[in-house]
């Protein structure tokens, strides 16, 4: 038998094992709805260049005068005559790039700190926990406002600041799990055969924390989407003119009484994406409990 496909199959099985919680979702209808919504927006984001009828920032003078939905502009246009459908699709691409990168960075930093704090305990734990307490006691939205206005608002800064504020939360979760898992007998067995601390943390402990971590990542994706939208709405989000859902609402909110569709449509978009993530998280948590 050829080696390569077998190894491929093995890797496939390892992947399947990692995603096992996902496979158990079939039980709940709400979860499937959540999954469908998220996949819908992921597809929209991936295919934005193909699906969008217009460039996202192209203005159409005619549409600006009559911005309500029409055959030319299925979801209408905004006050500058930009096609809302196109901006929605490109906006999805932006939020679904920034949010996952921010969450993944937070998970990586947070997991590392949490593992170290839970495994070594003592001084490391004191340091990490106190740092987390202080960061968590700072009202995040105020922090965002200060940092993003002072340093300027860019995708990079948003990712950085979200990762910094979310990492302590994840560190706490991982620390709690690590404190439990480090007492397991297989960890003692690993020590007794001389595995390094790093190996124990990454190979013996972390894989067993993945269930709660995946659920939390899902919730975190929802929150981060909200944060990105809120920052856009407050005018300190992803820089214009590229479309950003929160920013679209901010620009058009003043025209609510005349053209409510300009605000309602991006609001519906962001709400649906977050609903998708949260329903998915509920399902993942329930399937984790069933085990």
Partner 1 sequence: MTEAAPILELDRLRLSYATRLGELNVTPGLSLTLARGEALGLVGESGSGKSTVAFSIVRYLGPLGRVVGGRILFEGRDLAAMSEAELGTLRGRRIAMVYQDPMSSLNPVMPIGRQLMEVPMLHEGVGTEEARARAAAMLVEVNFADPAAIMARYPHQLSGGQQQRIVIAMALIGKPALLIMDEPTTGLDVTVEAAVLDLVSALRKRHDTTLLFISHNLGTVAQLCERIAVLYGGELVEDGPIRDVFRNPRHPYTRGLLDCLPRLGRSKQEGKLKPIPGHALSPASRPPGCGFAPRCPHAEAGRCLAGPIAQVDVPGEPGHRARCVKAAELAPWRPAPGAAHEASDAATRPLLLRAEKLEKSYRPASGLFAAGGRVVRALNAIDLELRRGETLAIVGETGCGKSTFARVLSGLETASAGRVELDGEEIGTRRVEARPQALKRKLQMVFQNPDSTLNPSHKVGYSVGRALRRLKGLDAASAKRETRRLFEVVSLAPELAERKPEQLSGGQKQRVAIARALAGGPDIVIADEPVSSLDVSVQAAIINLLSELQAERRDSLVFISHDLAVVRYLADHVAVMYLGKVVEFGATDAVFAPPYHPYTEALLSAIPEPDPERRRARIILEGTLPSTGEAPAGCPFASRCPRKVGEICDTTPPPEQALAAGHRIACHIPAAELSSF
Partner 2 sequence: MRRGRRACLRFRRTAAAGGRAMARFLLKHLLFLCLTLVVVSFLVFILTELTPGDVARKYLGAYATQEQVEILSKRMGLDRPVLVRYVEYVGKMLSGDLGVSTRFRVPVKDIIFDRLANTGLLALVSFLFIVPLSMLLGIAAGMREGSLLDRVILLTSAVLASVPEFAMGVFLASIFVVSLRWLPGTATLEPGGSWPIATQLVLPVTVIVLFDMGYVVSMVRASMVEVMRQPYIRTAVLKGMSFRGVVLGHALRNAMINPVTVILLQINYLVSGVVVVESVFAYPGFGRMMLEASLYKDIALIEAGALVSVFVAVVTQILGDLAYLLLDPRIRR
Binding site for partner 1 (CB under 8 A): 126, 184-186, 188-195, 197, 204, 207-208, 210, 290
What is the footprint of partner 2 within residues 1-60 (CB under 8 A)?
A: 30
Which is nearest to 168 in space by CA: 110, 124, 210, 212? 110
User: Does 72 help bind partner 2 (rule: CB under 8 A)?
Assistant: no
Helix (H, G, I), strand (E, B) or coil at 57: coil
- The entry of partner 2, partner 1, none that residue 145 binds, CB within 5 to 8 Å by partner kind: partner 2
- The entry of partner 2, partner 1, none that residue 184 binds, CB within 5 to 8 Å by partner kind: partner 1
Query: Which residue from 236, 238, 244, 251 is in contact with partner 2, where contact means CB under 8 A?
Result: 236
Residues in the chain: 291
Query: How many CB atoms within 10 Å of residue 163?
Result: 21
User: Does 61 help bind partner 2 (rule: CB under 8 A)?
Assistant: no
Contacts of 1 (CB under 8 A, 6+ apart): none
Please give the Cα distance from 181 to 167 (Å, whole number): 20
Query: Which residue from 106, 162, 201, 249 is in contact with partner 2, where contact means CB under 8 A?
Result: 249
Contact call for residues 230 and 249 (beta carbons, < 8 A): no
Contact call for residues 23 and 15 (beta carbons, < 8 A): no
User: Does 70 help bind partner 2 (rule: CB under 8 A)?
Assistant: no
Percentage helix, strand, coil, to 5, in the chain? 80, 0, 20
Contact call for residues 158 and 104 (beta carbons, < 8 A): no
Please give the Cα distance from 241 to 8 (Å, whole number): 44
Which of 8-16, 44-52, 114-122, 252-260 is the region at the interface with partner 2 (rule: CB under 8 A)? 252-260
Of 26 and 256, nearer to partner 2 (C-beta) is 256
Provide, rounded to whole angstroms, the least separation between the CB of residue 138 and partner 2.
6
List, in sequence order, every residue forming a beta bridge with 77; answer none if it has no partner.
83
User: Does 126 help bind partner 2 (rule: CB under 8 A)?
Assistant: no
Provide, rounded to whole angstroms, the least separation between the CB of residue 142 and partner 2.
5
- The entry of partner 1, partner 2, none that residue 257 binds, CB within 5 to 8 Å by partner kind: partner 2
Which is nearest to 78 in space by CA: 268, 272, 253? 253
Query: What are the angstrom distances between the C-alpha of 234 and each of 30, 160, 227, 258, 285?
Result: 32, 18, 10, 22, 33
Query: Which residue from 7, 26, 151, 196 is in contact with partner 2, where contact means CB under 8 A?
Result: 151
User: Does 142 help bind partner 2 (rule: CB under 8 A)?
Assistant: yes
- The entry of partner 2, partner 1, none that residue 189 binds, CB within 5 to 8 Å by partner kind: partner 1
The binding site for partner 2 (CB under 8 A) comprises: 30, 130, 133-134, 137-139, 141-142, 145-151, 222, 226, 229-230, 233-236, 246, 249, 253, 256-257, 260, 263-264, 267-268, 270-271, 274-275, 277-279, 282
């Amino acid at each position: 038998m050829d080696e390569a496909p077998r190894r491929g199959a093995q890797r496939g099985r390892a992947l399947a094992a990692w995603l096992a919680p996902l496979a158990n979702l079939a039980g709940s209808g709400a979860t499937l709805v959540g999954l469908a919504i998220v996949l819908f927006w992921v597809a929209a984001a991936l295919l934005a260049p193909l699906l969008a009828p217009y460039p996202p920032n192209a203005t159409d003078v005619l549409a600006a005068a009559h911005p309500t939905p029409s055959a030319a502009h299925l979801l209408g246009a905004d006050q500058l005559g930009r096609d809302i459908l196109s901006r929605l699709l490109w906006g999805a691409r932006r939020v679904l790039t920034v949010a996952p990168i921010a969450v993944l960075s937070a998970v990586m930093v947070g997991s590392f700190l949490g593992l170290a704090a839970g495994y070594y305990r003592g001084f490391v734990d004191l340091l990490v926990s106190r740092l987390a307490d202080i960061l968590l006691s700072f009202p995040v939205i105020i922090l965002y406002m200060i940092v993003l206005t002072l340093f300027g608002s860019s995708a990079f800064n948003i990712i950085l600041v979200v990762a910094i504020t979310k990492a302590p939360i994840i560190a706490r979760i991982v620390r709690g799990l690590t404190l439990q898992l480090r007492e397991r007998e297989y960890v003692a067995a690993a020590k007794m055969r001389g595995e390094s601390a790093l190996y124990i943390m990454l190979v013996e402990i972390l894989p067993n924390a993945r269930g709660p971590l995946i659920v939390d990542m899902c919730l975190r994706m929802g929150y981060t989407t909200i944060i990105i939208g809120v920052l856009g709405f407050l005018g300190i989000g992803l820089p214009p003119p590229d479309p950003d859902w929160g920013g679209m609402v901010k620009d058009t909110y003043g025209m609510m009484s005349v053209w409510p569709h300009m605000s309602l449509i991006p609001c519906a978009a962001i709400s649906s994406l977050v609903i998708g993530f949260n329903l998915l998280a509920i399902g993942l948590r329930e399937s984790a409990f069933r085990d």
